[in-house]
Amino acid sequence: MSQDNNSNGNRIDVDIQVENSDTAAAQDAPAPEEVSTFRLVATLAVAGVLAGLLIVLVNLHTKPIIDKYKAEQLQLAVYEVLPGVERYDTYYLVNDTLSLALPAGAKESEFKRVYVGRNSEGQATGVAISRGESGFQDVIMVIFGYDPIGGTLSGMKILDSKETPGLGDKIFKDMNFVDQFFKGPETPLLGVKTGAGKGQPNEIDMITGATISSKAVIGIINHALEEWKPILDKGIPEAPAVAESAEVAQ
């Protein structure tokens, strides 16, 4: 294949056109014998099976590592936004009520969920909720801690963000911004420009130069609460018997 400086498109085009038409004579391959369709299919099938086997093997090895890491990250995040809880239980939204268990045969990923933090007596002291919405660049994933009785926030953590480096990424790098969510602001939150606030308990100072990203984070929390407050106000189920409960603080 000539290594000329054309756009690579021409190169690949020649490859595939040669494959499609039968002018194999130009290649320096062995004399073109009739290759049976069976051999063609068999080769690909064998290759496919071998490939599948290799992937399954490596997957068996890596899946536990990956799952463990994901679970750890989630745990860390929940404990960060629910300071002071001993452990937490995962409740799924099944038929508009909170339920520890999923309906038989259901896929876990289809159900919205919240993480109810409990203290040493098993009382629910906070709920961690995660939600994602568009920010300035792309979707921002936020998890925050909410006290259903007082209606205040206990903390916030950005789980995933692709905001502009140096500007939008201040939503997790600027501790002055992040700390505000840990001081128990009332909900619904109100974003204000720094210095223009009236001192209301639900005000959050937005980041100068990253107003859209800040607004997005505030919006995510407010929208999530609009969705979950009616359900949480119905009451959080009592702690299950110790044998049933899920995560334990380590």
208 binds another protein (CB under 8 A): no
- Three-state secondary-structure class, residue 60: helix
x/- site string to another protein, residues 10 to 39, per CB under 8 A? Answer: xxxx-xxx-xx---x--xxx--x--x---x
Q: In this structure, which amino acid lies at residue 40?
A: L
**What is the rounded distance in angstroms from the CA atom of residue 126 to the CA atom of residue 102?**
22
Beta strands 152-160 and 190-193: pairing type?
A: unpaired
Report the residue from 102, 190, 212, 239 that binds another protein according to the rule CB under 8 A: 212
Please say whether the beta carbons of 204 and 118 come within 8 A. no
Closest CA to 127 of 187, 177, 184, 85: 85
- Asked if 226 touches another protein (CB under 8 A), the answer is no
Shortest approach of another protein to residue 66 CB, angstroms?
5
Count of Cβ atoms closer than 10 Å to residue 122 Cβ: 15
Selected from 91, 103, 108, 110, the binder of another protein by CB under 8 A is: 110
Binding window for another protein (CB under 8 A); candidates: 53-61, 86-94, 113-121, 234-242: 53-61
In 7-158, where does DSSP find H-type helix?
8-20, 37-81
Stretch of 81-89, 94-102, 162-170, 228-236 contacting another protein, by CB under 8 A: 162-170
- Separation of alpha carbons 198 and 63, rounded Å: 51
Residue 176 binds another protein, judged by CB under 8 A: no
Pairwise CA distance, residues 91 & 3, whole Å = 60
Q: In the complex with another protein, which residue's Cβ is closer, 141 or 239?
A: 141
* Residues near another protein (CB under 8 A): 1, 3, 5-13, 15-17, 19-20, 24, 27-29, 32, 35, 39-40, 43-44, 47-48, 51-52, 54-56, 58-59, 61-63, 65-66, 69, 107, 109-110, 131-134, 136-139, 160, 164-167, 212
